[in-house]
Structures are given as structure tokens and as C-alpha cells.
Amino acid sequence: MASQQVSGTGTKRSVRTKINPYEMLLQQLDLVREQTDIPAGTWEILRRAERALEVSLPITRDDGEVEVFTGYRVQYSSARGPCKGGIRYHPAVTLDEVKALAGWMTWKCAVVNIPYGGGKGGIICDPTRLSERELERLTRRYTAMIFPLIGTMRDIPAPDVNTNSAVMNWIVDTAGLLHGEPVPGIVTGKSIELGGALGRREATGRGVMVVTLGVLQRLGIDITKARIAVQGFGNVGSIAAELLAKQGAKIVGLSDVSGAYYCPTGFPVDEVLRYTATSPGHLLAGYSARGVEEITNDELLTLDVDVLVPAALEAQIVTENAKDVRAKVVIEGANGPTTPEADLILAEKDVVVVPDILANAGGVVCSYFEWVQNVQCFPWEEEETNQRLGRVMQRSVDEVWKLAKERNVSLRLAAFILAVERVAQAIRLRGIFP
């Protein structure tokens, strides 16, 4: 298969109210508005996506039958530069979800101060039901349908849930054929041989690690004594777990779409990675070792740990379970894993929450590096990429932490204030056309 499950939650979970991600985004903006003097007209711009495209995607299945899928591409803001954002393949994709994710990408790029706006894409599908050839057909048709919107200086897609470098390779090839010349900078997250950046696959997880170290240091928590639970053992969660373990942390909880597991003495993360490299679907299901017990996803989220890293899908920490979260620090490896209502509950419990737009921004930072290398036709060594990534993430933690202390607000609110004010300033400087 060309794609694999890159994030997920445990299979056993309580019934929860369905959360609309776009409503979450607007609630977050409403909280920011109380902390700024941005004009009302600018707020109307900030609350709306610039452009949203819905496309019909007919493909011929391997059995000769035609099936029609639905896809989306949203450009939320281009005030600070070309739109940037991943493409996800998932049965639960909705237009509101894609709009919210494009909005979060806008703030994410602004909070780490890279010259991008925010975009996002998605196709409603279950990639596990599609063969590699069917996935390729679907990807190429989707590329053709969104081609009028994307471009090296307009909108640059990237991998997201259930997409990977193979999917990006098909996009860059299709776009190049439609354009009539190579366009390596039209997507990021490609294979190295096609212009991908060394270190890109690990970048989001590496960014989570850098942010975690920075925040724990400021809180006076020794990383070598920290107990960490990671929800979602896909690309982001697995790499974050691996890198944090190498820093001396004890990873005591792990989960993915197939189940959740607890090991009080700490998982041998390298061994778990070797297991998932060859397991069916690259999932944790069936993993066993001395001291490891299977738990539910809700039990993993409420483990007695120093750090919880939700690195699965959005709306995982909600009103129903937030009161039971026992972690001292939550590092949001996923986009939107904590609802606004749950955020308030965690704040009352003095849980430090490092928001997604900061915590998982390492991926888009490295995507920016890949794009720069493509535009300049000058590749970097992996060490240079990692060093630059570390500097950007450390600087961003410094800026958000400082603003939070100055205004006596949460890290989430500080990150949003910083990001939204930067976008608002770009809108002001550009003016309104015509």
C-alpha cells in the first residue's frame, strides 16, 4: 500500500459528543479577540477562509467499477505568503474539518514566523480499502482537480493523516505533467530522490521533542526523570517517543488505532519500532513484552505521568475526560486534540498545555526548508536542517513563553495572540483590494 495509518487512537473509548473542528477554531479566535485591539473588519477576514474548493473524484477500481470520491482544498489565508498545508485521506474528512485545519496551519506558520499562509486538503476515503494502484489513480485525479489552486508560489501541499512521500511523489509528477515542466517546489514531503529534504520525515516528532525539552526545563522537570505517555504511535508520535527516550525520558504509555498499552518501567521504544515496522498495518496490535499491559485509550489519556503527548486526531481531550487527566504537561503533537471546554478544565487543574500550533510546528518548518531548497535548487545536509529546525523551535518557545508571562495568559492563548497579530499586521500592511 502506498499509504499507511500515521495516527490513531485506541479502539476502546467512551461515547463523546461530536466536536466540529471549525467551531473549535472560531471559539479559540473569540478568546484571542478579547486580548487584542484588532479592528472588527480585520476580525471578519481572520474568521473566514479565503477559498474553499470541493471536487468530485471518479476513479476506476481494480475490478473495473467506477467509484466517485469527494475531495477538498481550502486556502485559509495567504496574507503572509503562499498557503501551506497537508492532505489527509480519511473516512471522516469534512469541509469544516479541512477549513479548521487550514486555519490552524495559518496560525502555526505565523507563530514560528515562517513566510507562509495556511491551507489544507482532504479526500473522504478509507485508504485501507484501496489498492496501491487505486490510491495512485485517486491521488492523480485529485491533483488534476485542485491544480488551478496549487503552485510553488500559491499553495504547497504536504503529507498528513494517511498520506506519505509516495502520495507526494504522485502529486509532483502529475503537476509537472500538467504544467509542462518540473515543479519540485509544488509539494513538500517528497522522496529525497525527487527533491525531498533530509530530516523531513522526522521533523514534526523532532519539533515535539525540542518543545518538550524547552518547556520541562522552564518548569524545572528533569527529562531523565520524566514519565511520558504518547497517544498515536504513527509518524509524529513514534518519532517523538523515540527521540524523547534517547534524551532519557521514560515512555510508559503508547497507543494507536489498534489499541493502547502501558508499561510502568518504560517501553523499549527501539524494540517497539522494530515490531511495528513489520506488523500488519504497521500497528501496535499484538505487541507484548514483560511488564506491558493493554489498556483503553481513555486510560492512556489519564495515566499518572509528567507529560502527555496526544499525537493522534483532533478532539481527544474533551469535557468528559479532561477532569481525569493527571499529566502535569500536555504537548499537543496532533492538530486540535483538546477542545476549548477541556482547555478550561485543564487550566483549572494547573496543567500546562503546549498548543498544537507551536508543539507540532516542526513539520511545517522543515517543509519550508524543503521548499527553500527546491526553489534555490540547492539541497542541504541533514545536520543543517536539524540545527535550523532546533533554532526556529527554540526561538518560538521563547517568544510564546515570554508573551504568556507578560500578559498572564496560557501558552495556547499566547501562541494564538502572537500568530493572529502577525497575520492581522500583514493584512493591514497589504490593504484591502480593490
pLDDT in tens, 69-91: 999 999 999 999 999 999 999 99
pLDDT in tens, 348-397: 999 999 999 999 999 999 999 999 999 999 999 999 999 999 999 999 99
How far is the C-alpha of 396 from the C-alpha of 418, rounded, in Å? 10
Q: Which of 166, 67, 75, 188 is nearest to 121 (CA)?
A: 75
Of the CA atoms within 13 Å of residue 72, those in its CB half-sphere come to 28
Query: Where does residue 403 rank: exposed (0-12), middle (13-18), buried (19+ CB within 10 A)?
Result: middle
Per-residue pLDDT, 2: 40
What is the number of residues in the chain?
434
Whether the per-residue pLDDT at 346 is higher than 90: the answer is: yes
Burial 83-121 (b: 16+ CB within 10 A, else e): bbbbbbbbeebbbbbbbbbbbbbbbbbbbbebebbbbbb
Q: Nine-digit cell at 296? A: 483503553
How much is the average pLDDT of 7-14?
38
Which of the residues are catalytic?
120
Summarize the confidence of residues 397-408 as an average pLDDT: 96
- Order of strands across the sheet with 352-354? 293-295, 259-262, 250-256, 227-231, 307-310, 329-331, 352-354
Residue 42, pLDDT > 90, answer yes
- Which residue stretches of 259-307 are H helix? 269-278, 297-301
Other C-beta atoms closer than 10 Å to the C-beta of 43 total 17
Identify the band that residue 17 occupies on the pLDDT scale cut at 50, 70 and 90.
low
pLDDT (average), residues 124-129: 96
pTM: 0.89
SS3 at position 331: strand
CA dist., res. 175 & res. 169, Å (int): 10
- Report in angstroms the alpha-carbon separations of 261 from 10, 16, 209, 248, 326: 9, 22, 21, 20, 17
Residue 183's Cβ-side half-sphere holds a number of Cα atoms within 13 Å equal to 24
Architecture per CATH, domain 202-359, reads as 3-Layer(aba) Sandwich (3.40)
**Domain 202-359 in the same topology as domain 51-189:** yes
Distance of alpha carbon 372 from alpha carbon 149, whole angstroms: 20
Specify the amino acid at residue 220.
Answer: G
**Assigned fold of 51-189:** Rossmann fold (3.40.50)
What is the domain partition of the chain in residue ranges? Answer: 51-189, 202-359
- State the cell numbers at 162: 494517511
